[in-house]
Amino acid sequence: SCPGFLSCSFSAPEQGKEKVFSPSTDSVREQICKAYRPYGGFRIEAAAPPMSIWCWNCQGAGSTETVQKIREVRRLHFPDFMFLMETKQKYAYVSGLQKSLGYDKLFTVEPNGLSGGLAVMWKDSYNVEILSSDKRIIDMKISSGPLDFFLSCIYGDP
């Protein structure tokens, strides 16, 4: 298991539907996500695509060691979303990193001097709407096929 690789269960109720996501304990990539829809008193199961998220307080995305670790995670897992905290880097640098990792989209929160900075990268197969952001959070609405859900990437005290 890789540190920072997120595997969690959540549900996102929607009008007339109940969406349940339950990652496999073996591998997030091998999980089967299911969307349940009430139909005539029965619950019908439909497959939904799996999603993986990797988050890491990298304490500066500019060091060679940090970039190597990020590239290793990308090579081994290629998570759908990568959330980096404490990048300590301006947009131009993080944008170059995002492109070199093969991610299609990027949203950043600029650092304050030599501290802070957030970045979330994702694959083009997701439609992402940034709802709000500040120095500690990026709040998003994500659409993937018929599923809509919210993702809040938070940098906070432990």
Label residue 157 by pLDDT band (50, 70, 90). confident
Q: What is the distance between the alpha carbons of residues 67 and 87, in angstroms, rounded to a whole number?
A: 11
Q: What are phi and psi of 155, to 5 degrees?
A: -110, 110
Q: What is the mean pLDDT of residues 20-32?
A: 38
What would the two tokens of residue 35 be?
């969307």
Question: Per the confidence metrics, is the pTM higher than 0.75?
Answer: no
Lowest mean pLDDT among 26-35, 45-54, 72-81, 124-133: 26-35
Q: What is the distance between the alpha carbons of residues 106 and 83, in angstroms, rounded to a whole number?
A: 10
Report the DSSP pairing between strands 18-21 and 105-109.
unpaired
Query: CA angle, 77 as apex, 74 and 78 as ends, to 5°?
Result: 50
Domain 53-154 has CATH 3.60.10.10: yes
Q: What rounded mean pLDDT belongs to the chain?
A: 78
Q: What is the pLDDT of residues 96-112, one digit of tens each?
A: 999 999 999 999 999 99
Q: What is the distance between the alpha carbons of residues 152 and 76, in angstroms, rounded to a whole number?
A: 24
Q: What is the mean pLDDT of residues 117-143?
A: 96
Domain with CATH 3.60.10.10 in the chain: 53-154
Name 21's bridge partners. Answer: 10
- Of 146, 24, 5, 149, the closest CA to residue 79 belongs to 5
Label residue 7 by pLDDT band (50, 70, 90). very low
Label residue 158 by pLDDT band (50, 70, 90). low
